[in-house]
Amino acid sequence: MRRTSKTMRAAVENAEVDVVVVSGVEFRNGEGLLHKFNGLNAWCRVTELRLNECALGEGGGQAIAAALRENHTLTELNLCCNSVGEGGGQAIAAALRENHTLTKLDLRNNSLGEGGGQAIAAALRENRTLTELDLRNNSLGEGLGQAIAAALRENHTLTKLDLGYNLLGEGGGQAIAAALRENHTLTKLNLGEILMGEGGAQAIAAALRENHTLTKLNLWNNSVGEGGESVVRQSWGNRGGTLNF
């Protein structure tokens, strides 16, 4: 029995685990979350953690940030729909400057606001491991578009970025377009419903004439008009991939 127990423990310790917390299980304001995560990680290597709709709040965002500073196994983290807020977003952003294993981060529907979004954008200028980032529907404005644009000029690891359902506006769209002239690693970009208008579309079209790495671009519901859509499609040309309006 002792040999069996040691063998089983060794197998568990070497196992890579995808942890999914069922929607409805709550860690209100992060209560007990860090303790449970550290306890599980002591037995096995947690590589994927999904905490969708767990009522984490700002305290939960801060608890996750504390874990990210010390964890060296987690590669995918889904925090969708947890209202971590500006403070939680800023804490997670600070952790991204120190964490060097996380590659995919989903922060959809978290009420990050400008403060949280700006912090995440600043972290992207230093982080060199994150390849996929989802920031959909986080009450982000034009300033965030400009901050993300600045990050894209320096970041050369991010390949997939989702900024949909944020009011980045024409200015934010134009700033991101300008960054696409210099960024050659991003392959998938969602700018759906950011209200970029025809001016933003014109800027995107001009950027596409120089950028040849994007293979998937979503510009859905942006009031770009027939003229805006036409010039973007012309610049997209026959590169293949997916272009949505």
Sheet-wide strand order for 104-106? 16-20, 45-50, 76-78, 104-106, 132-134, 160-162, 188-190, 216-218, 242-244
125 and 182 together in one domain: no
pTM of the model: 0.91
50 and 101 together in one domain: yes
Q: Which of 130, 129, 166 is nearest to 147 (CA)?
A: 166
The amino acid sitting at 26 is E
Q: How many domains in the chain?
A: 2
**Of 118, 134, 150, which residue is a domain's last?**
134
214 and 240 together in one domain: yes
122 and 7 together in one domain: yes
The amino acid sitting at 41 is N
Give the domain range for residue 102. Answer: 1-134
4 and 111 together in one domain: yes
Helices 142-154, 169-180: axis angle to 10 degrees equals 10
DSSP states of 48-78: EEE-TT---HHHHHHHHHHHHHH-SS--EEE
CA angle at 223 for the pair 222 and 225, rounded to the nearest 5°: 130
170 and 122 together in one domain: no
**Of 86, 108, 134, which residue is a domain's last?**
134
Model pLDDT, residue 166: 98
Model pLDDT, residue 43: 65
How far is the C-alpha of 118 from the C-alpha of 86, rounded, in Å?
A: 10
Residue by residue, pLDDT tens for the chain (245 residues) are 344 445 434 444 556 666 766 556 788 888 888 777 777 776 678 899 999 999 999 999 999 999 999 999 999 999 999 999 999 999 999 999 999 999 999 999 999 999 999 999 999 999 999 999 999 999 999 999 999 999 999 999 999 999 999 999 999 999 999 999 999 999 999 999 999 999 999 999 999 999 999 999 999 999 999 999 999 999 999 999 999 99
Rg (alpha carbons) of the chain, rounded to whole number: 20
125 and 151 together in one domain: no
Q: Which of 163, 112, 101, 98 is nearest to 134 (CA)?
A: 163
Residue 124: CB partners within 8 Å, gap ≥ 6? Answer: 96, 130, 133, 148, 151, 152, 154, 155, 158
Model pLDDT, residue 15: 60
96 and 53 together in one domain: yes
96 and 13 together in one domain: yes
79 and 144 together in one domain: no
Q: For position 85, which CATH number holds? A: 3.80.10.10
Model pLDDT, residue 12: 41
80 and 149 together in one domain: no
How far is the C-alpha of 87 from the C-alpha of 119, rounded, in Å?
A: 10
Residue 238: CB partners within 8 Å, gap ≥ 6? Answer: none
Please report the sign of the dihedral spanned by the C-alpha atoms of residue 230, residue 162, residue 139, residue 116.
negative
Q: Which of 33, 22, 40 is nearest to 57 (CA)?
A: 33
Model pLDDT, residue 8: 38
31 and 116 together in one domain: yes
